[in-house]
Amino acid sequence: MNIAIPIFDGLTALDAVGPYEVLSRLPGAEVRFIAATAGPIRTETGMLGLIADASFEELVDPEVIVVPGGHATRRLMGDDHILDWLRRAHQTSVWTTSVCTGSLLLASAGILEGLQATCHWRSLHILADYGGHPLSERVVEQGKVITAAGVSAGIDMALTLAARIADEQTAQAIQLSIEYDPQPPFDSGSPAKAPKEVLERVKAAGARREAAADAGSTRVDQASS
Amino acid sequence: MNIAIPIFDGLTALDAVGPYEVLSRLPGAEVRFIAATAGPIRTETGMLGLIADASFEELVDPEVIVVPGGHATRRLMGDDHILDWLRRAHQTSVWTTSVCTGSLLLASAGILEGLQATCHWRSLHILADYGGHPLSERVVEQGKVITAAGVSAGIDMALTLAARIADEQTAQAIQLSIEYDPQPPFDSGSPAKAPKEVLERVKAAGARREAAADAGSTRVDQASS
């Protein structure tokens, strides 16, 4: 089972590494991190480098596609290199999936037209601009297309996908292997649950970051965004 | 706030990337991935490369230490290079933390002597061999030493730590930013919750992997372990 995770400068690391950690444990899985050019890729904070082991052209027909998100997706929504790769790979994929704002790239490639889909809560509404039907759920399955909500939702999505690819017991074994028995110390993980002042703070930080990006600044706003 | 994540060939990626994703969002955080030698590091599956941006010697006094685990920890428990670095860094650290079998390295460095600590459930008992008091909990705090259970527990640990370093609202804002509102599709994330056959399967896979490692095989057993 060939699994491709396309990565790019400005990705959110956990979007990619959560599903990697689950799917790489499937019997027979071969996960490959690919990019426009093989080599080092930096995350949106600049603090972590991941290695793309191959270029997009070297893996055009993966059975599973997992598209992560990150600050860079706004820029990449107009990048034909990655969008053309997605369109081609989706034609033959068994599963096409995304985490967080990775669904904005699927949407830009035309893959979500007419489909229900999810995204990071801050960007969910954008899917409608591309013919998608935004759904505020953790994991949304539509045939072979599975989208996940923000960042950490990729772990839930990948366990769901692992059960589809293999079987439920295998997915449960992977869950036990990664001891995924979450016990968040706070209950602030969604806009519906977070205290109002926390929600406003994260919204404001996101708006500041986007304004800075529009002004051409490369500075990353770390203020809890 | 300087945060060091020491990495090594054979680590579990999510052990490191979960805490990175949380802690890098703290205002003023500077996360650095370091290793015995700067350069590419491969995870235990071999399928993902992370980049160590500096050597241990280049960052001897981080304020926060986050030690990930992985199959390699059994070997590294006798590796003076990383253990000496841990002993020295722990002398001046504000927080010394671990995820999964990263606590075996803290234990081997003598840091857990007399302390309660946790670890991946399969290896928890080993802590007692080094004077630690194994505790089957998700996150264990003992003064400045915080240990987390297996793999995904690093996210819960890092949110706990984020509240200590900054404040609760900041940690909640980070939780909302990474949309950490976990909804695992199965309830199989701990030995107490997993179906018996799933538990036996994961135990057997772990035993096979360790036997292969003892026999000098470098083959990674992917069978849901």
Q: What is the pLDDT of residues B67-114, one digit of tens each?
A: 999 999 999 999 999 999 999 999 999 999 999 999 999 999 999 999
Closest CA of chain B from A187, distance in Å: 7
Report the distance separating Cα B5 and Cα A198, nearest Å: 28
Q: Do A224 and B27 touch (CB under 8 A)?
A: yes
What's the number of domains chain B is made of? 2
Number of Cβ within a 10 Å radius of residue A19? 32
A169 & A197 share domain: no
A11 & A46 share domain: yes
Q: What is the pLDDT of residues A142-162, one digit of tens each?
A: 999 999 999 999 999 999 999
Examine the residue annotation and report whether B119 is marked as an active-site residue of this protein: no
A173 & A218 share domain: no
Average pLDDT, chain B: 95
Pure H helices in chain A: 13-23, 73-76, 80-92, 102-108, 153-165, 168-177, 196-214
pLDDT band at B34 (very low <50, low <70, confident <90, very high): very high
pLDDT value of residue B220: 44
Listed in sequence order, the residues at least 6 apart from B71 whose beta carbon sits closer than 8 Å to its beta carbon are: B10, B12, B44, B209, B213, B220
A170 & A222 share domain: no
A8 & A119 share domain: yes
A225 & A135 share domain: no
A37 & A143 share domain: yes
Contact yes or no for B132/B107 (Cβ under 8 A): yes
B76 & B160 share domain: yes
- CB nearest A181 (choices: B21, B190, B195): B190
Q: Do B179 and A49 touch (CB under 8 A)?
A: no
- Bridge-based pairing of strands A95-99 and A145-148 is parallel
> Which of chain B's residues have a Cβ under 8 Å away from the Cβ of A194?
172, 175-176
Please count the residue pairs, one from chain A and one from chain B, whose beta carbons lie less than 8 angstroms apart.
264
- CB nearest A179 (choices: B24, B53, B190): B190
**Helix A153-165 with A168-177: angle, nearest 10 deg:** 140
B17, B164, B197, best to mutate vs chain A, most A CBs in 10 Å:
B17
Q: What is the mean pLDDT of residues A37-56?
A: 98
Nearest residue in chain B measured CA to CA from A172 = B188
CATH number, domain of B27, equals 3.40.50.880
Q: Tell me what ipTM this predicted complex has.
A: 0.95
Candidate list B100, B119, B124, B159, residue with the active-site label: B100
A79 & A167 share domain: yes
Q: Do B151 and A29 touch (CB under 8 A)?
A: no
- CB nearest B20 (choices: A48, A159, A190): A48
B104 & B203 share domain: no
pLDDT value of residue B215: 82
pLDDT value of residue A224: 43
Number of Cβ within a 10 Å radius of residue B134? 22
Domain with B27 in it: 2-177
Nearest residue in chain A measured CA to CA from B136 = A179
* Max Cα distance, chain A (Å): 50
Asked whether the predicted pLDDT for residue A218 surpasses 60, the reply is: no
A171 & A210 share domain: no
pLDDT value of residue B217: 58
Report the distance separating Cα B60 and Cα A176, nearest Å: 35
Asked which of A4-18, A51-65, A137-151, A207-221 is least confident by mean pLDDT, the reply is A207-221
B149 & B165 share domain: yes
Q: What is the pLDDT of residues B168-182, one digit of tens each?
A: 999 999 999 999 999
Note the pTM of the prediction, 2 decimals. Answer: 0.95
